Structure 1
Amino acid sequence: MKNIFYTLLVLTLFMTACHRPEVGFLGTAFESRVDTIELTRGLFDQGPLPFIDGSTLPLSWEITGATDAEGNLTNDLFEPRDIVLWKEAYNPNTDTTAALVNEKLDRTKKPSIYINKVSGQLIVTQASRTVPQDVYNLNLKVSNISGERQLDHFATLKLLPYKPAEVRFAMISAIKLIRKNGTEATIKNQVNTNDEERIASVLNEEGTEPDPIFSIKKISDEPASSVSVRMILTDTDGNVISPSKVTRNEAGAGSDTEYLPSFNENSVETTTDDEATIFNFPAPPFPQYSSNFPNATTNDKMYQMFYRTTTEAINLVGKPPGGVKKYQTNSQGGVLGYGYVRWGLRINDFGTWEIKAAIPRSTVMTDE
């Protein structure tokens, strides 16, 4: 009896050893994390990771087709369109001329959408700006060591309106008053990123009243293949503060850099005229670089750009906090102070742009 038992056991083990075990798992319940993936047209933007139903990694993803909102097959998203890509990161320390920066740009044609083959995230490119419709349904295919699965109607893509310019970080305009003990009092006006109504005014969107402090607007389609930005600082009444009295903001003691981040680091030829400091850059987005966040790509803090006026640029209108006696005086007998601006914008389009900031409770100091 024992011999029969051992014989059966050996046969079972032999058959098990000869049977090749199943390798990997490819799920059946792949899903998008959202019903509609909303991405901004004309910008580089990416969607969320999909649910993979416990499938064995690595996975490989591809887009197999698209239909429009009416269900018609379309090639809109895959047709190559004009685009400017960065081949290498911009470096203000070495990219000192337009020619050097242009060497890092690839002006080519690319599809409006592609998929991260490893993660399955959908990505739209700047080429999506001219795609004719807003809504598309996407068919995908996913595969791994166990096989492949066709995922028809996997996701609905909605292209949100193009944003030629954005407020990406809270912006501040202030007058800073210097006390006799060396400390400063700040009177400021701030635009927060969650204040959609005010941001619409700052961006001069159709149907909005101009914002009293900040203005960001495109004033010309030229230059058609680069970006020019005119920065203008004014007093409360809109009188221009001479660009000769507008400077970069020093970083202060203990900093690794001489200045706080500025548009100057993002300009290959900075000039001035009677009213503006003019920054020039070969391609959007602008700004492209921050000395505080030199390797940032998605951190909105990198869009902070700092400027100030000299202490001989503006006078305070009205009384300072705590009374005049607490403050130092300027050359005209007023309260010693200066204008301060922190920008938090990103420009995504070519052409000439005008950005303005009014210093609150200030008037331009006249030359005597």
Structure 2
Amino acid sequence: MKRIYKAALSCVLLAMLVLAGCKKVDVGYLSDNIRYGSNPVVAERGVFKIVTGIIPDNSTPPFKITVLDVRNKATGQREESFFKPSEITVWKEKYDPKTDTTLALIDAKRTKEMRLPLQVIEKSGQLMFTQATEGVPVGEYLLDLKIENPNGTKEYKGITTIKINDPLLYEHVNAPYFILVDPKDGSSKRYPHDVDWFDISKQQSANMTFKVTRDANGPNQVILKVYDKNGAVFPGKALERRPNGDSFLNTMATFAYKTTVTETSVIHDYAQARFPDVYWDSQPNNILCYYRIYDKYIESVDYVDTWDPPYKITYQTDPKSYILQMRFGMKFNLPGTYLVEMHLTATKKAGVN
């Protein structure tokens, strides 16, 4: 009988434990352990970014999430720049680089508004960094939130660290290279190491160097200028599209809504940073640009004689003129006017009228 009693008691206790383990979280439960998946949350000054919302730790929605404060992590003092709105460009409708091909079409989709550098989506806690972060100093900051749900309100001091960095104004996505094409028979050869070496600190490859300058207050343009080894500038019309069967490969003009060819450059007007738009990342050849300079513009090219980059690179001149085929890819991350000066360190321009 005692055995039956003990067995029954064990079953009751087991059932109670199972029920306790299956107990639902009270409606309105608000955890002390709400957090973000990233700590720190990293953003770049002047660059739009949305960060995933809170991890609620079984807290029950709906939530009302607001910013209490943003404090300098080193001093604990409120960082006022997060609470000063600035005028930024806002898209009223989604930008489509395939159809929004004129300034009128683009301007119809956007407007100017005053926005704070940081906004929190009330129901999800997503952090939205706007272009107004350009006015926030580089540094680390503590984010304080207030979260409400049907059961009450709690404050979460230092729920995550926000790290604000200076952005890369521009980036190279590959090592630029040249192909020399014989205009007589179409045979080609490449410079040695031209796809294996690019000194980013010097903006230098085997046969070209880049110099990029930005005017933050200028219109959204990329101005491409190409020079020979002696500093003579090629006319804009010399930078022709590279054939690809019955069509042509991409150039910067593919990504711009307007392209203007001048005596000394090619000017590309773009709608928004990042340029080229992220749409192109998933397209064939993505944002790579391919150009051809025909032999009538080339007096001579140099081939590599001694190769020990970056300490020693010497060339010997080949008097034969070639067609030059170039490939490079660049991203421009903030709005403004960029002057991209490309110096062909192994090429001499011909005296073309």
- TM value normalised by structure 2: 0.72
Match of 2:190 among 171, 182, 186: 186
- Deviation of the 1:151 alpha carbon: 1.3
What secondary structure sits across from 2:282 in the alignment?
coil
Given residue 40 of structure 1, which amino acid in structure 2 is its aligned partner? E
Cα 1:181–1:159 shift into 2, 3 Å = same
What secondary structure sits across from 1:99 in the alignment?
helix
Cα 1:248–1:145 shift into 2, 3 Å = farther
- Deviation of the 1:166 alpha carbon: 1.4
Cα 1:33–1:180 shift into 2, 3 Å = same
What secondary structure sits across from 2:180 in the alignment?
strand
Given residue 100 of structure 1, which amino acid in structure 2 is its aligned partner? L
The question of 1:134 aligning with 2:139 is answered yes
Answer 1 or 2: which has greater strand percent. Answer: 2
Separation of aligned partners in 1, 2:34 and 2:87: 33
Given residue 46 of structure 2, which amino acid in structure 1 is its aligned partner? G
Matches within 5 A, 1:138-177: 138-142=143-147, 149-163=154-168, 165-167=169-171, 169-177=173-181
- Deviation of the 1:167 alpha carbon: 0.5
Given residue 170 of structure 1, which amino acid in structure 2 is its aligned partner? N
1:242–1:275 Cα contact (<8 Å) kept: yes
Please name the residue that 2:314 is paired with.
none
- Deviation of the 1:337 alpha carbon: 2.6
1:307–1:341 Cα contact (<8 Å) kept: yes
The question of 1:346 aligning with 2:332 is answered yes
Aligned residues: 320
Given residue 330 of structure 2, which amino acid in structure 1 is its aligned partner? G
Cα 1:336–1:88 shift into 2, 3 Å = same
Please name the residue that 1:308 is paired with.
292
Separation of aligned partners in 2, 1:86 and 1:192: 40
2:253–2:259 Cα contact (<8 Å) kept: yes
Please name the residue that 2:341 is paired with.
356
The question of 1:293 aligning with 2:282 is answered yes
- Partner deviation per Cα, 1:69-92 (whole Å, 9 max, x = no partner): 432345431332111123334445
Please name the residue that 2:238 is paired with.
245
The question of 1:277 aligning with 2:266 is answered yes
Separation of aligned partners in 2, 1:303 and 1:147: 50
What secondary structure sits across from 2:258 in the alignment?
coil
- Deviation of the 1:140 alpha carbon: 1.8
- Deviation of the 1:286 alpha carbon: 3.0
Gaps of 5+ in 1: 1-8, 10-15, 203-210, 322-331
- TM value normalised by structure 1: 0.69
Given residue 343 of structure 2, which amino acid in structure 1 is its aligned partner? A
Separation of aligned partners in 1, 2:295 and 2:59: 64
- Deviation of the 1:171 alpha carbon: 4.4
Please name the residue that 1:233 is paired with.
226
What secondary structure sits across from 2:189 in the alignment?
strand
- Deviation of the 1:113 alpha carbon: 0.7
Separation of aligned partners in 1, 2:304 and 2:86: 56
Gaps of 5+ in 2: 1-11, 13-18, 306-317
1:177–1:335 Cα contact (<8 Å) kept: no
Please name the residue that 2:76 is paired with.
71
